[in-house]
Amino acid sequence: DSLTTSNSVAYAEAKKIGIKSAYRDLFLDNKDDEEEIKANILKLANLALANPASIPIGICHPRSKTAKALKEMIPELAKLGVGIKKVSEVVK
C-alpha cells in the first residue's frame, strides 16, 4: 500500500483476505530533487539501523533523478551495512 491517501484501506483489506501485503514507510521522491531523494534514502537506512528486526519499505517513481540517486547511494548504504531488496523479498 503506497499510503498516498490517509483513507487507504488496501493493506488492511489484503491482510483480511490472506493476500501477502505491506505498506511503505517512506516515499523517496515526492520531489524530483536528487539531493532530497538521497536524504530520504538515508532516512530509510536509518530506520533500518534503528530497528534491525524490521525492514522498512521505501517506494519511488521511475524517474532518472531517482535512479541516479539510488545508484550513487549504494556504496554509502553498504558502508552503513544496509542493502536494497525487492519488495517481493520482504512482503509477508
Please write the tens of the pLDDT for every residue from 59-84: 999 999 999 999 999 999 999 999 99
pLDDT of residue 92: 75
Residue 16 has pLDDT above 90, yes or no: yes
**Which of 4, 49, 41, 6 is closest to 24 using CA atoms?**
4
Could you identify the residue written with the cell 533500518? 48
- Residue 8: pLDDT band with limits 50, 70, 90: very high
